[in-house]
Amino acid sequence: HLEGDKWSFRIKSDQEIMGMYRFSLQHPGTRGFVYEWVYHQLLKQEGIIYLNYDFVHLQLNEKDLGIYAVEEHFGQHVIERNERPKGAILRWNPSLYWEWRIDELDGDYLDEEYSSFMASYAEPYDKGTVKDDPELIANYQMGARLLEAFRRDSLTTSEVFDVEKMARFHAIIDLVGGHHSLDWSD
């Protein structure tokens, strides 16, 4: 994301830009060129939560940077646009994983167990919005309990997830080679 002249950028705005408030601008190759666009179109077609994803011609300080991919970030607006009930979007906190990766880049090869999926915890993507809304806090807590029970094998996949949508999601990933979205740290 930082090599050459086509760096990636993260944009956060209080005003809507292209229907989004938070998004990334990045070299199209970081997400497989047009395959990522196809991926999101297929998710939309199959009724699976998708992000806005498009391409723009970018100029920065009068420098022509060429074509960039625009990728929306998760937030409540994504839930609304996908016609889902209000709810917290959860992820596994990847901070220890990224600490380990930075150590590795610095030549420090430590035991990676502290940075594994099992050392993580469920958190909301949009912490600021969730912490200010009692309904979202309760939704986050319930979701975190379900994810933890799944991770510990106390609940089955079908007790925690919509397996039909999950199967469609995995089929689409296989079709477009979008396996990066399956990594727990993503």
DSSP per-residue string spanning 119-172: G--EEETTHHHHHT-HHHHHHHHHHHHHHHHHHTTSS-HHHHS-HHHHHHHHHH
E strand or H helix at 36, and its extent? helix 34-45
Q: What integer pLDDT is reported at residue 104 of this predicted model?
A: 74
C-alpha–C-alpha distance, residues 12 and 24, integer Å? 9
Q: What six digits make up the tokens of 138?
A: 């309760």
Q: What integer pLDDT is reported at residue 2 of this predicted model?
A: 56
Q: What integer pLDDT is reported at residue 114 of this predicted model?
A: 63
Q: What integer pLDDT is reported at residue 105 of this predicted model?
A: 75
| Helices 34-45 & 163-176 angle (0-180, nearest 10) | 160
Q: What integer pLDDT is reported at residue 27 of this predicted model?
A: 93
C-alpha–C-alpha distance, residues 89 and 25, integer Å? 22
Q: Mean pLDDT in each 10-residue stretch from start to end of the chain (186 residues)?
A: 77 91 93 92 96 95 94 92 95 82 73 75 92 96 97 97 96 90 81
Q: What integer pLDDT is reported at residue 94 of this predicted model?
A: 86
pTM of the model: 0.85
C-alpha–C-alpha distance, residues 76 and 45, integer Å? 20
